[in-house]
Structure 1
Amino acid sequence: MKGCQIVLDTRAGADGEPIEMAALIEEGRLSDLLIDDPELVAPGTIYRAVADRPVKGQGGMFMSTPDGSAFLRQVKGIAPGDTMLVQVTGYPEPGKALPVTAKILFKSRYAIVTPGAPGMNISRSIKDDDLRDDLQVLAHETFGEHPVAARGAGLILRSICAEAEPDEIADDILAMADLAEQVLADEGQGAELLLDGPSAHDLALRDWPRGDVLDGAALPAKERQSAFELAGVPELAEPLWSGPALAGGGRMFVEATRAAVCVDVNTGGDNSPAAGFKANLAAARELPRVLRARGLGGIIYLDLAPMGKKDRRQFESVLRAAFKGDPVDTVLAGWTPLGNYELQRKRARLPLDRLAEGLF
């Protein structure tokens, strides 16, 4: 299959609750995968939280929310018992509090509303000066007089605006501004959930490239909840777990542990002098896709196939280019004394190894 396709599906969880899933297929390959975990709070969730107790020496505060304890870093001027709006920034490590921030964002496909950070900005990825001017005018006309702007909120127009119609962008800005105003106007007391974080379907339609959408909910009743099977997602995803094939017959195996992610690259049956170098370059190009689709992050060690030290610079260039377009921040730390390569990747995604059991 050529082009881009977004596949939306739902399956029943252990308790019968619906679990949303989304897959992005580009040029016949699985490029991204999202699966909700009903047991966890989704990043982007907004609470009215109650300050519980400060953490001395760390400048943080434990907060009470309807979904348990949360931890807010770099707190000033907040006393136990105070209420404030906080937003979940990521998934907590097992047994730890929810990570939250007081810098709330309302993000949609085209716009980001930024309470407490006034001003209107346009993504630097948009280079066309005329288009930037048009978007600036549109932003002022649509957002400038909105009540949420009077509260000190700002607006950021995302890079995808370069591909959208003005009316579509304006409608999106207004929707986000109205939502932000509704949440910021809250004057309640006590801990309360104010806004759920985006689901897998929401994130897919918000952040992924435009393409054909196959929605399981829109299929005939006898085919419902089988969109993944119709699109061949299980077959496309299976190699990401069993080990993607590399050029020359090599394989790349990615194993996630509690402490780190370990990647092993081998050359398979290729015994030529350049086999290791070719396999390592292929692994560098594949690695961002595998990590992204499986939701892996943290410390990552690459145990590469044998290659000469003179080839390291080219390997680093290919690896850097591969991660350039990846949405998750990744630091290419460099070579270890044992000759492995080390990366540090933000834990922005939910690891899917457990959730994918029985699906692939």
Structure 2
Amino acid sequence: MKGRSIILDHYEGREAAALMVDGRLEDFLIGADAPAPGTIYRAIADRPVKGQGGMFLKTPDGPAFLRQVKGLSPGQSLLVQVTGYAEPGKALPVTQKLLFKSRYAIVTPGAPGINISRSIKDEDERDRLLEIAHDTFPGSQTGLILRSCCMGADTDAIADDISQMADLAQRVLSDQSQDMDVLAEGDGPHLLAWRDWVEPAEVVTEPGSFDVHGILEELDLVRRARVSLEAGAHLFVEPTRALVAVDVNTGADASLAAGIKANMACAKALPRALRLKGLGGQIVLDLAPMPKKDRRAFETALRQNFKQDDVETALVGWTPLGHYELQRKRARLPLQELLG
């Protein structure tokens, strides 16, 4: 099936969303019991961590950890936002830099000014968007970013989105209570799909659509460690307690170029595999054998492919044993844990 489809359904009682591109599962979101990234708390400072410059906080959903703390005393209340999922047994990662993000607009408290996505080059369109923002957005100490999907979007839809995010920011920032509380929930899978999957697509919302559109079969493939690559090569993606191990194999190809071909195919497939599996943290690639002269081409391909992925990933580099290391934000929970 050609084209893009967004399927909104439920999986074993959990809200879920699937993005299909040309008949292949490109992304999958599913609700979790843990607090979703984007959740905003009024938290209470608990105890500092000497040597790390951080502070443990108390929240309604358990302990959180805030890095780079200055001038914060135990017992003090503050607003924080969840930035990702915690490893088992660890505190929630949070930040004091709040963002109120929607499909068209991002409201940025403490960072005043109106900014248009740099990917929008047309000057007439930028002028139109600035006019909408100035007419709609009341912020003086609060900033606004208009996202790239505003290009050509309906004026009223953009204005409504700006107003809703500005109102939410105002409600959260003006709250005067000092008790622990959840001030805003992070977006669930259906809202995230509407917010982030912005390219034109057919949207399917009928119950049971996962079965009809082959999502369940695709999930069975995602849950396997083996990921097939081009020309018969394959890789295994296997999470351990300490890291995610990725093993690249050439398959039946015995040519001199088999290693570089398999590794380049890995560079193309890896962002999708990690995204679908919901894996982050330390990632170590055990690549197929290839000459050192080909390493730069592999790194370039890997960097280009991860630039298109919306989960922050740092390319760390080569180890003395010839492995390649990545550090990826834990923006999702492992799919295997959620599907059971």
Task: State whether TM-score is above 0.5.
Answer: yes
Aligned to 1:303: 286
User: What's the counterpart of residue 15 of structure 1?
Assistant: none
Cα pair distance change 1:82/1:317, threshold 3 Å: closer
Q: For residue 234 of structure 1, what is the aligned residue in structure 2?
A: 216
2:42 is matched with: 48
**Greater displacement, 181-190 / 109-118:** 181-190
CA contact (8 A) 1:288 1:323 kept: yes
State whether structure 2 residue 114 is matched by structure 1 residue 115: no
Q: Where do residues 156-175 of structure 1 align in structure 2 (5 Å cutoff)?
A: 156-175=145-164
**TM-score, normalized by length of structure 2?**
0.93
1:151-230 alignment, distance < 5 Å: 152-209=141-198, 210-215=200-205, 219=206, 224=207, 226-230=208-212
Residue 336 (structure 1) aligns with: 319
Counterpart of 1:187, as a letter, is Q
Query: In the alignment, which residue of structure 2 is the partner of 1:260?
Result: 243
Do structure 1's residue 11 and structure 2's residue 5 form an aligned pair? no
2:87 maps to a residue whose letter is E
- Name the CA shift for 1:115/1:81 in 2 (closer, same or farther; >3 Å): same
Deviation at 1:26, TM superposition (A): 1.1
Amino acid at match of 2:332: R
- Inter-partner Cα distance in structure 2 for 1:54 and 1:285: 42
* Equivalent residue in structure 1 for 2:25, among 5, 30, 34: 30
Label 1:271 to 1:137 Cα distance change in 2 as closer, same or farther (>3 A): same
Say if 2:58 is the partner of 1:81. Answer: no
RMSD: 1.7
In structure 2, list runs of 5 or more residues that go unmatched: none
Query: Counterpart amino acid of 1:212?
Result: E
Q: Report how far residue 91 of structure 1 moved.
A: 1.1
SS at match of 1:95: coil
8 Å Cα contact 2:227-2:237 kept in structure 1: no
Q: CA deviation at 1:163?
A: 4.1
* Aligned residue type for 1:4: R
Cα contact 1:111–1:173 (8 A) shared by 2: yes
Output the amino acid matched with 2:149.
I
- In the aligned structure 2, how far is the partner of 1:77 from the partner of 1:334? 36
Quote the offset at 1:277 in angstroms.
2.1
Quick check: 157-166 or 57-66, which moved more? 57-66
| Residue 110 of structure 1: how far off its partner (Å) | 0.6
Cα distance in 2 for residues equivalent to 1:57 and 1:85: 23
Q: Could you tell me how far apart the structure 2 residues matched to 1:314 and 1:76 are?
A: 43
Equivalent positions of 1:48-67 (< 5 A) are 48-67=42-61
Q: Is the 8 A contact 2:264 2:301 kept in 1?
A: yes
Give the superposition deviation at 1:326: 1.0
1:232 CA drift (Å): 0.6
- CA–CA separation in structure 2 for the residues paired with 1:88 and 1:197: 8
Report if aligned partners of 1:248, 1:275 keep a CA contact under 8 Å in 2: no
Distance 2:286 2:47 in 1: 44
* Structure 2 counterpart of 1:132: 126
Structure-2 separation of matches of 1:263 and 1:76: 39
TM-score between both structures, scaled by the size of structure 1: 0.89
